[in-house]
Amino acid sequence: MEQIVDAEEAIRRWDAFADTYSKNHNEQGDIHKEVFLNPTLFSLMGELKDKQVLDAGCGEGYLSRLLSKAGSNVTAVDYSLRMIEIAQERTPVDLQIKYLRGNCEKLDTLEDNSFDLIVSNMVIQDLPNYENAFREMFRLLVDGGSFIFSILHPCFVTPGSGWEKNNSGEKLHWNVDRYFYEGAYEQ
């Protein structure tokens, strides 16, 4: 039976998990963001000085801070109020990032054609209605603007995936099961 997690339930879960999640983040994010995601994202973004940038799903704000330090005018949204609070606590006043609570599926407090660049880092997979989020990003971008997003690769998070080990606990290979499953599931 497919379990649907609506936006309100997702928000409740992220609010409850925010402090634990944030403890694993430094100024570069976590180790996966620092080593894999950040270099790729920044290579795709190009010149950032004086650009209007939206960090769509900013979490604890590490990427917003990096974008601001690179010279962007950053607006950052997240639907978790606790994540926004943590982001504000961690942001030095000289960066002047505008943090807002908002659901990427409906950002009607933001004006059309407001951003040169929108970045959504490891967020889209957590949205119950990603199609609405894509429409919102298109609405918010200036003509010729860019939307860059990253998501989890399904082989790492499919139901039943994990390390296959021998009797002595040595890792043999990573099991991938239900790779093409398209429904929601608990992690």
> How large a percentage of the chain has pLDDT more than 90?
67
Q: How many domains does the chain have?
A: 1
**Which tens digit of pLDDT belongs to each residue from 87-114?**
999 999 999 999 999 999 999 999 999 9
- Provide the mean pLDDT of the chain: 90
Residue 136: is it exposed, middle or buried by C-beta count within 10 angstroms (0-12/13-18/19+)?
buried
**Domain with 44 in it: what CATH number?**
3.40.50.150
SS3 content of the chain, % helix, strand, coil (to 5): 35, 25, 40
For 93, list phi and psi in degrees, rounded to 5: -60, -30
Is 26 among the domain residues? Answer: yes
Q: Where are the beta strands (DSSP E) in the chain?
A: 52-56, 73-78, 98-101, 115-121, 141-150, 162-165, 171-175
- State residue 80's pLDDT score: 95
**Which tens digit of pLDDT belongs to each residue from 135-154?**
999 999 999 999 999 987 66
- State residue 127's pLDDT score: 87
180 pLDDT more than 70:
no
Boundaries of domain holding 147 = 7-151
Is 59 among the domain residues? Answer: yes
pLDDT-derived band at 1, boundaries 50, 70, 90: very low
